[in-house]
């Protein structure tokens, strides 16, 4: 949408090959130790068969800096027992980088130095097969003239079993990076990883941070590393990959305990082979930087966007800052359904007893982090509502084969709407900035319901994640069938938001349980120059039909030439990638970005630009557009369906393009 979301996010081609300099084999007594035995094809192991790996939190840097200014690190690659789903989940064989003198942890350790530091890493391969390591090198920055961006990085470090090598380089480029290893089995059909954090070896990856020379590393900075596990043993699964944050999958991911009012600083690295729109509940965060395997761009304070969802494609990084202002439980998660749902639980071939894995009742898994904000002086005061709305869920039988259409309808008048009088998207909810609105949600469905007020800053108890939102000792339950619940909304900012079902077990989102939520300045009203564009799916299957405002073929929209309109886009499909183009008689039109995720954009980003952008799941955007001439315009939305995983045969689904005709007179 902006310079930050386009030119600072380069297209990444193929497999990364990172240049390594100063490679020199070394000898040591450790070379005489025999490598460990080779693994069977099944990743499951008996508990206690290997050293149990702990989980890395990246709070300290591996190695030490000597009097000569050289930072030295010694790492051994070895097999470990890995339990990504917790102590009572399956025990898997994994490869790990282990710092000398320390116990095994996954992912591998953090190497952190100021820019200009000479780094010397000694690597030992104690795996039963050859190993290649990439990423332990200086990052030269982007080279737009290179014919092949990956070839510029040269060969990896290769080590035969039982051997040792040393690499030495000057870390001159500040940024957030990662390094990784790969030791494929002879019959391994999983292709080499794009950026190292995917494949059958577990989180065989570590982090390297190069600070600005004068910068001081914050003791409160957190590093989150996203990786992907793909293994031959789970080929029968519809979801043959599993995603982890710092080596763990929900509900075993680390619980973050934060203090109300204390600013948080996070570095997030996507070392997996697919993109992830990362969403924070209850708060906006500031995007401080964006990066990739080559370099990092730190934005000036006046250029930093405030968002609730930010997409990281393969190999990308970001630094974010935010301040928790409300106590209670919150979430930070990928907004793609397959990446944060029960599809991320252990594959059936590896599964532990379902009753032993906490969190399944919430239908979540994978890329989900639980956050608890603590407050020494909690305020349980309940504000008095100035306005009341009543929202009813409903269903219409056999709309999608045997499955019903679902929806939300706002009550208009003294009587509730009929149970089958659904609208998709749900009735737009229009509330005012700073004005407390009471919304009572009635559940007329046959399953428990959670409703998330996406992007709103609100009290935790109203956030809408069943069994999680609210205080830890008394989380908010789901709304039972034939029951209701009341939430209080008093949003501090005006903007474009959404509401939708949360923690659903199936296709309830694309069956219709979503809607627009618009917050206006106090005393304002929604006008006919506000154009709502809800991008979603309609159907009861995984790759449901893409829809614009609930239909594949929306009725033409009539607008006036020269009049200023605010186009409010909301993307709430389960997992699709979309590209939007607004074109007219003279080709692609021009508009001005105004807001993202309900927050006004920095002034430096509010300027006319070509009317094209790629909205990611969980994002909202506002554009100001004045049709420059009379004629027929077209808002086209092209959907790329997310399918399969590397080396797993899947049916390719061709892109779908929906069109909304806009008649300008």
Residue 296 CA from chain centroid, whole number: 19
pLDDT of residue 7: 33
User: Domain ends where: 497, 526, 555?
Assistant: 526
In this prediction, residues 340-356 reach a mean pLDDT of: 70
Residue whose structure tokens are 């370099």 = 295
Task: Let me know if residue 537 belongs to a domain.
Answer: no
pLDDT of residue 273: 80
342 & 439 share domain: no
pLDDT per position as a tens digit, 291-327:
988 889 999 999 999 999 999 998 899 999 999 999 9
372 & 421 share domain: no
Q: Please list, in sequence order, all residues whose beta carbon lies within 8 angstroms of the beta carbon of residue 654, skipping any fewer than 6 positions away.
A: none
In this prediction, residues 464-471 reach a mean pLDDT of: 95
Which of 435, 452, 568 lies closest to 493 in space, CA to CA? 435
* Res. 11: pLDDT tops 50: no
Binned at pLDDT 50, 70 and 90, residue 98 comes out as very high
> Is residue 404 within 8 Å of residue 511, measured between CB atoms?
yes
| Token duo for residue 90 | 């399956």
In this prediction, residues 33-46 reach a mean pLDDT of: 60
Average pLDDT over all residues of the chain: 88
Report the domain count for the chain. 3
* Res. 528: pLDDT tops 60: yes
pLDDT per position as a tens digit, 430-449:
999 999 999 999 999 999 99
> Is residue 137 within 8 Å of residue 167, measured between CB atoms?
yes
pLDDT per position as a tens digit, 368-403:
999 999 998 767 778 899 999 999 999 999 999 999
In this prediction, residues 98-106 reach a mean pLDDT of: 97
User: Domain ends where: 357, 379, 401?
Assistant: 379
Least confident span in 236-240, 354-358, 635-639: 354-358
> Is residue 628 within 8 Å of residue 589, measured between CB atoms?
yes
| Token duo for residue 329 | 């439980």
Using alpha carbons, list the distances in angstroms from residue 60 to 56, 71, 207, 507: 10, 14, 11, 42
| Token duo for residue 117 | 């530091």
> Is residue 370 within 8 Å of residue 392, measured between CB atoms?
no
pLDDT of residue 140: 74
> Is residue 30 within 8 Å of residue 164, measured between CB atoms?
yes
Task: In the chain, count H helices and then E strands.
Answer: 1, 46
Note down the domain range covering 643.
Answer: 543-665
Strands 285-291 and 306-307: antiparallel
Binned at pLDDT 50, 70 and 90, residue 10 comes out as very low
Least confident span in 194-208, 413-427, 478-492: 194-208
d(CA 200, CA 185): 9
Calculate what percentage of the chain has a pLDDT beyond 90. Answer: 73
In this prediction, residues 643-663 reach a mean pLDDT of: 78
Using alpha carbons, list the distances in angstroms from residue 660 to 297, 312, 535, 573: 37, 29, 12, 18
370 & 396 share domain: no
341 & 399 share domain: no
Report helix, strand or coil for 477: coil
Residue 157 CA from chain centroid, whole number: 31
220: left (phi over 0), alpha (psi -120 to 50) or beta: alpha
State which H helix or E strand residue 337 sits in. Answer: helix 337-340
d(CA 665, CA 663): 6
pLDDT of residue 643: 65
Binned at pLDDT 50, 70 and 90, residue 358 comes out as very low
Task: Let me know if residue 534 belongs to a domain.
Answer: no
d(CA 77, CA 204): 9
594 & 450 share domain: no
| Token duo for residue 477 | 């339950």
> Is residue 425 within 8 Å of residue 529, measured between CB atoms?
no
pLDDT per position as a tens digit, 137-189:
998 776 655 544 454 344 689 999 999 999 999 999 999 999 999 898 776 66
> Is residue 465 within 8 Å of residue 503, measured between CB atoms?
yes
Task: Let me know if residue 133 belongs to a domain.
Answer: yes
Task: Let me know if residue 535 belongs to a domain.
Answer: no
287 & 388 share domain: no
| Token duo for residue 38 | 């080779």
d(CA 349, CA 372): 33
pLDDT per position as a tens digit, 46-92:
888 999 999 999 999 999 999 999 999 999 999 999 999 999 899 99
* Res. 359: pLDDT tops 80: no
571 & 462 share domain: no
* Res. 410: pLDDT tops 50: yes
Q: How many CB atoms lie within 10 A of CB 446?
A: 9
pLDDT of residue 235: 57
d(CA 392, CA 415): 11
pTM over 0.85: yes
169 & 250 share domain: yes
Task: Let me know if residue 331 belongs to a domain.
Answer: yes
In the sheet that holds 276-280, the strands lie side by side as 256-259, 368-374, 328-334, 276-280, 309-312
- 360 or 336, which is more confident: 336
The CATH number of residue 432's host domain is 2.60.40.420
Task: Let me know if residue 482 belongs to a domain.
Answer: yes
28 & 175 share domain: yes
How large is the greatest C-alpha to C-alpha distance in the chain, in angstroms? 84
d(CA 572, CA 593): 20
pLDDT of residue 220: 77
Which of 100, 44, 107 lies closest to 76 in space, CA to CA? 100
In this prediction, residues 537-543 reach a mean pLDDT of: 93
Which of 605, 607, 4 lies closest to 298 in space, CA to CA? 4
Which of 550, 530, 547, 548 lies closest to 622 in space, CA to CA? 530
> Is residue 474 within 8 Å of residue 327, measured between CB atoms?
no
512 & 591 share domain: no
Q: Please list, in sequence order, all residues whose beta carbon lies within 8 angstroms of the beta carbon of residue 528, skipping any fewer than 6 positions away.
A: none
294 & 394 share domain: no
d(CA 40, CA 231): 12
Establish how many alpha carbons lie within 13 A of residue 413's alpha carbon, considering only the half-sphere containing its beta carbon: 4
Task: Let me know if residue 533 belongs to a domain.
Answer: no
Binned at pLDDT 50, 70 and 90, residue 16 comes out as very low
Beta strands of 375-475 (E only): which ranges? Answer: 387-400, 403-410, 426-432, 437-442, 451-454
* Res. 423: pLDDT tops 80: yes
355 & 387 share domain: no
pLDDT per position as a tens digit, 270-284:
998 889 999 999 999
Establish how many alpha carbons lie within 13 A of residue 65's alpha carbon, considering only the half-sphere containing its beta carbon: 10
User: Domain ends where: 526, 554, 587?
Assistant: 526
Task: Let me know if residue 80 belongs to a domain.
Answer: yes
């Amino acid at each position: 949408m902006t310079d930050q979301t386009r030119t600072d996010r380069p297209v990444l081609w193929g497999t990364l090959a990172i240049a390594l300099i100063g490679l020199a084999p070394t000898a040591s007594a450790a070379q005489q130790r025999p490598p460990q035995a080779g693994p069977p094809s099944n990743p499951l192991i008996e508990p206690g068969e290997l050293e149990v790996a702990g989980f890395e939190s990246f709070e300290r840097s591996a190695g030490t800096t000597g009097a000569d200014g050289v930072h030295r690190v010694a790492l051994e690659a070895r097999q470990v027992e890995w339990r990504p789903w917790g102590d009572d989940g399956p025990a898997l064989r994994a490869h790990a980088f282990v710092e000398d003198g320390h116990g095994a942890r996954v992912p591998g350790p953090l190497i952190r130095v100021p820019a200009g530091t000479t780094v010397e890493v000694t690597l030992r391969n104690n795996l039963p097969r050859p190993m290649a390591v990439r990423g332990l090198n200086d990052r030269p920055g982007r080279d737009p003239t290179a014919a092949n961006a990956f070839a510029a990085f040269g060969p990896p470090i290769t080590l035969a079993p039982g051997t040792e090598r040393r690499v030495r380089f000057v870390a001159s480029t500040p940024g957030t990076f990662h390094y990784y290893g790969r030791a494929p089995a002879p019959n391994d059909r999983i292709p080499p990883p794009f950026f190292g954090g995917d494949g059958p070896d577990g989180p065989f990856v570590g982090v390297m941070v190069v600070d600005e020379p004068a910068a001081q590393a914050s003791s409160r900075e957190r590093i989150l590393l996203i990786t992907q596990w793909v293994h031959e043993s789970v080929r029968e699964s519809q979801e043959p990959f599993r995603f982890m944050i710092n080596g763990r999958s929900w509900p075993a991911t680390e619980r973050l305990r934060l203090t109300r009012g204390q600013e948080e600083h996070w570095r997030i690295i996507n070392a997996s082979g697919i993109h992830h729109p990362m969403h924070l509940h209850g708060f906006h965060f500031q995007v401080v930087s964006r990066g990739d395997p080559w370099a990092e761009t730190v934005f000036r304070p006046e250029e930093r966007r405030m968002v609730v969802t930010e997409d990281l494609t393969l190999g990308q990084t970001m630094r974010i800052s935010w301040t928790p202002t409300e106590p209670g439980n919150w979430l930070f998660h990928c907004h793609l359904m397959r990446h944060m749902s029960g599809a991320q639980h252990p594959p059936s071939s590896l599964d532990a007893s379902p009753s032993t894995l906490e969190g399944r009742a919430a239908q979540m898994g994978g890329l989900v982090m639980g956050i608890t904000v603590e407050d020494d002086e909690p305020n349980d005061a309940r504000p008095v509502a100035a306005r009341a709305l009543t929202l009813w869920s409903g269903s219409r039988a056999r709309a999608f084969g045997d499955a019903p259409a679902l929806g939300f309808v706002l009550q208009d008048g003294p009587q509730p709407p009929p149970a089958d009088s659904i609208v998709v998207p749900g009735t737009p909810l229009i509330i005012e900035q700073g004005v407390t609105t009471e919304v009572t949600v009635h559940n007329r469905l046959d399953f428990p319901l959670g409703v998330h007020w996406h992007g709103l800053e609100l009290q935790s108890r109203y956030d809408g994640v069943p069994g999680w939102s609210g205080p830890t000792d008394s989380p908010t339950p789901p709304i039972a069938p034939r029951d209701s619940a009341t939430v209080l909304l008093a949003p501090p900012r005006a903007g474009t938001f959404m509401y939708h079902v949360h923690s659903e077990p199936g296709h309830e989102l694309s069956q219709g349980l979503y809607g627009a939520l618009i917050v206006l300045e106090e005393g304002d009203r929604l006008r006919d120059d506000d154009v709502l564009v809800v991008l979603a799916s309609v159907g009861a299957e995984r790759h449901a039909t893409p829809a614009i405002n609930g239909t594949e073929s929306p009725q033409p929209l009539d607008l006036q030439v020269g009049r200023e309109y605010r186009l409010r886009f909301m993307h709430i499909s389960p997992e699709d990638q979309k590209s939007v183009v607004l074109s007219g008689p003279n080709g692609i039109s021009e508009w001005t970005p105004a807001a993202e995720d309900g927050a006004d954009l920095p002034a430096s980003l509010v300027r006319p630009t070509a009317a094209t952008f790629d909205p990611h799941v969980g994002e909202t955007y506002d554009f100001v557009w004045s049709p420059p001439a009379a004629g027929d315009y077209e808002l086209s939305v092209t959907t790329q369906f997310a399918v399969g995983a590397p080396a797993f045969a899947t049916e390719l689904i061709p892109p779908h393009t929906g069109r909304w005709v806009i008649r300008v007179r």
